[in-house]
Amino acid sequence: MNFIVIGCGRFGAELAYRLFTNGHQVAVVDSDPKAFNRLHPDFRGRTVEGDSLSADTLSRAITDKTAGVAVVTNSDTMNAVIGHAVRVNYPNVQRIIVRNYDPVMRDMLESFGLQIISSTAWGAERMQELLIDPAFHAVFSAGNGEVEIYEMFISEKWHGLSVSSLLEGCGKMACVALTRAGRAELPAPTDILQKNDILAVSATLDGVKILRAKLQEGQED
C-alpha cells in the first residue's frame, strides 16, 4: 500500500520506517531537508521537501494510489489544518490520521472530525498501568484509550467461580477471551474460572479500576 507521512521528526521518521519495513510504499514530507537525516539508513521511500500547507507540496506527495496519510508534525494546529486540507482536496485518500501532542488541544482536533492519536495521553496511560499493576495490563487500545482490552491473571480466590461473578458490578464490560494452559477460547458468562487462567476483557478505565480493586482484594486474601 502507499502511505504519506507528513512531518519527519522522531515520531514521523519511526513511523515511516516501520511502514517501509512492512513492505509498504512510503513518502515522507517535511519543510526542512535536514529532517530527513532522522530516517533510518535502510529507508528506501521517497522524500518530499516543501511546506506541508502548500498545495504544490501535497500534490507532489499524494497520488491516486495513496491509501492513507499520517500528519505528525510537532504542531497540533498545523496537524489539524493539514489533515482537513487533505480530506477536502484528496477525497480518494481513505485514511487520514493526525497526531495530537498536547492533550489540551485534543478537543480542537476532534472538532475537525479527524481520526487522532494522542501519543502523550496514550503513553501516559500505558506507563500508569505498568506502575500500578504489571500483571494487569492493556493488550489493545481503541481510539486514545477510552476502551481497551486488558489481560489479567486469575487468583486462587476466583477459582471455581463464574466469569459473570468476576465482572459483576464493574459497569459496561465484556469478556473477549479466556486462555487456559495456552489455549484460548471465547468464554460464556457461566464458564467457570480456574487459578492461573488469563482473562481478557474489554472495558473503560472506570470499569477497569473497579475490576482491578476486586483482583487485588483477591490477591490479599
* Residue 127, pLDDT above cutoff 50: yes
Output the average pLDDT for the chain: 88
How is residue 198 written as a grid cell? 488469563
Residue range 127-220 forms a domain whose CATH class is alpha beta
pLDDT of residue 221: 47
Res. 219: pLDDT tops 60: no
Please tell me the distance from the alpha carbon of residue 84 to that of residue 96, in angstroms, as a whole number: 9
Q: Is the pLDDT of residue 194 over 80?
A: yes
Among candidate residues 58, 62, 80, the one with its CA nearest the CA of residue 71: 80
Residue matched to cell numbers 479466556: 178
Residue 23: Cβ within 10 Å count: 7
pLDDT of residue 77: 92
Report the C-alpha gap between 26 and 111 in whole angstroms.
28
Can you name the residues that pair with 32 across neighbouring β-strands?
none
- Domain ranges across the chain: 2-120, 127-220
State residue 128's pLDDT score.
74
Give yes or no on whether 2-120 and 127-220 have one common fold: no
Residues 6+ apart with CB under 8 A from 103: 118, 120, 121
2-120 carries CATH number 3.40.50.720: yes
pLDDT, average across residues 129-145: 71
Tens-digit pLDDT profile for residues 23-40: 999 999 999 999 999 999
Tell me the β-bridge partners of 26: 3
pLDDT of 46 > 70? The answer is yes
Task: Count Cα neighbours of 31 within 13 Å in the Cβ-side half-sphere.
Answer: 9
Which of 3, 32, 7, 205 minimizes the C-alpha distance to 99? 7
pLDDT of residue 220 exceeding 80, the answer is no
70-109 pLDDT tens trace: 999 999 999 999 999 999 999 999 899 999 988 888 888 8
> Given a cut of 90, is residue 5 above it in pLDDT?
yes
47 pLDDT more than 90: yes
Give DSSP secondary structure letters for the chain.
-EEEEE--SHHHHHHHHHHHHTT-EEEEEES-GGGGGGS-TT--SEEEES-TT-HHHHHHH--TTEEEEEE--S-HHHHHHHHHHHHHH-TT--EEEEEE-SGGGHHHHHHTT-EEEEHHHHHHHHHHHHHH-TTEEEEEEETTTTEEEEEEEPPGGGTTSBHHHHHTTS-SEEEEEEEETTEEE---TTPBP-TT-EEEEEEEHHHHHHHHHHHHHHHH-
What pLDDT score does 69 carry?
A: 97
Q: What's the predicted TM-score (pTM) here?
A: 0.67
Average pLDDT, stretch 135-145?
73
